[in-house]
Amino acid sequence: MQSERFSLAALIGVVLIGMTGFGVFLPIFPFLALEVGATPTATTIAMGAYSLGQLISSPFWGRLSDRVGRKPILIAGLIGGVFSYLWLARAGSVEELGAARLFGGLMAGNVGAAFAAAADLADAKTRARNMGLLGAAVGFGFIAGPALGALLVGEQPTRTEFANVCFVSAGLAGAAALAALLLFGETLPQSARAQRGGARPRRLAMLATRPVLARFVAVMFLVIAAQALMETTFGLWAEAELEWGPRQVGWTLAALGVGAVLLQGGWAGAAARLLGERLTLLVGLALFAAGFGGLAVSHAPSTMAASLVALVIGIGLATPALNALIAAQAEETERGAVMGLSQSAGALGRVVGPLGAGALFDAFSPAAPFVAAALVILAALFVALGEPAREGLGIRD
């Protein structure tokens, strides 16, 4: 028990450091792209390149983690992040930015490996808690990261300041890789790896034969696509509607992270114990949709803040519940593959979302991506409502 707690604590620490590095860079990317002459559409496409890489590579990394363990994949993904950030620091065109983001996504096997490791360390009673704690680490990274990014850039950032942010992200990814090497203990026992043998569950076969898993994976795709619609255009919307710059956007994203940490660090697990994982997911999705709808009609910081409160509560409840429901569909020997499948669905959402976001922003209005995001979440709610209220491995048909 003590070693499992230490492994979980080490995993949370590694994810926290790595996501802080990701969060430092996130709010400045749209402004960096505009600095090199990109249009809003090109900016969102370049941002989506990361997720395209993740979509391609996540199943491979997930299957590999089932064979060689979680730790090597965790470290490899973080080292890949170091090189991606260094490339971004030197990029001089939107094409280079997109290529660097694509490379970062191809190497991003650490995310699925981390969630698979959290599932390795859980049983049915602690699954939502572990996913919530890992989600809280991600959320805290989005507090410290954007806040640090806001401190590193001025009101009118220079190209040098943008590069410095990339260097900080690279340093944090390197620190996370070192922490994983020294502190994180492997969570997948050798016996479980041996049982995998040569049998590989194929992605489409898994979805075709497990309708419950297919529903939850579809919800994951829709949820992440909606988030991507918002994330890739929030900075552009804030500049157009509120005349904000990267510093204000960074502080706002940090505030969102605070809410995510508070919810996922404890309240999400408590909600899942009280309501069950599925009902917690449904409540979260309803609040999610309300938050996006509020953003679509916001024209002032006050209404934006109220909408973001609903949004962050929705994210904080829905995300760990959904991850727990997906993890419940996996046997011990296939958790990496199942969580890799989940990450692929999320990555596909992060490809589709930015493509649609830029086009909607350019063709209609700055608020159009938020309207689309609200509709997408309503679709996710409809899909989730179609699933019988039974949880765990027993719900697989």
Q: Write the CA distances from 353 to 112, 228, 374, integer angstroms.
A: 20, 5, 12
Q: Cα–chain-centroid distance for residue 391? A: 23
| CATH number, position 264 | 1.20.1250.20
Query: Hey, what are 92's tokens?
Result: 């001089």
Encode pLDDT of 302-320 as tens digits.
777 888 888 888 888 888 8
Res. 137 pLDDT band, cuts 50 70 90: confident
**Is the model more confident about 142 or about 210?**
210
Percentage of the residues of the chain whose pLDDT score is greater than 70: 81
> Which spans in 187-334 are helix H?
190-196, 203-209, 211-242, 246-262, 268-275, 277-296, 301-327
Q: Is the pLDDT of residue 389 over 50?
A: no
**What distance in Å separates the CA atoms of residue 156 and residue 359, rounded to the nearest whole number?**
26
User: How high is the pLDDT of residue 79?
Assistant: 92
- Specify whether the CB–CB gap between 298 and 160 falls below 8 A: no
pLDDT, residue 379, reads 92
Q: Do the domain assignments include residue 196?
A: no
Instruction: Establish how many alpha carbons lie within 13 A of residue 16's alpha carbon, considering only the half-sphere containing its beta carbon.
Output: 15
* pLDDT at residue 196 in the model: 47
Confidence category of residue 286, pLDDT binned at 50, 70, 90: very high
Which stretch of DSSP H or E encloses residue 167? helix 159-183
Determine, yes or no, domain membership for 191.
no
| Whole-number Å distance between alpha carbons of 248 and 154 | 10
Helix 110-120 and helix 40-68, axial crossing angle in degrees, nearest 10:
40
- The pLDDT, as a whole number, for residue 266 is 62
**Inter-residue contact 98 to 216 (CB < 8 Å):** no
Three-class SS of residue 245? coil
What's the chain's average pLDDT? 77
Contact 136, 261 (CB under 8 A): yes
pLDDT for 378 equals 92
Do 28 and 246 touch, CB atoms closer than 8 A?
yes
Query: Does 118 map to a domain?
Result: yes
pLDDT confidence of 395, banded at 50, 70, 90?
very low
CA dist 33 and 181 (Å) reads: 34
- The answer to whether residue 64 sits within a structural domain is yes
Q: Is residue 197 situated within a structural domain?
A: no
Domain that holds residue 390: 2-186+203-395
**Model pLDDT, residue 16:** 79
Query: Longest C-alpha distance within the chain, in Å?
Result: 58
Distance CA 162, CA 397 (A): 51
Q: Which has the minimum average pLDDT: 96-110, 152-166, 324-338?
A: 324-338
Distance CA 203, CA 258 (A): 35
Measured distance CA(73)–CA(107) in Å, rounded: 9
Q: What is the mean pLDDT of residues 329-334?
A: 67
In a domain, 254, yes or no: yes
In a domain, 330, yes or no: yes
CB 277 within 8 A of CB 324: yes
What's the confidence (pLDDT) of residue 376? Answer: 92
Is residue 351 assigned to a domain? yes
Split into its structural domains, the chain has a count of 1
CA–CA distance, 45 with 37 (Å, rounded to integer): 14
pLDDT of 3 over the 50 cut: yes
Rounded average pLDDT over 57-76: 82
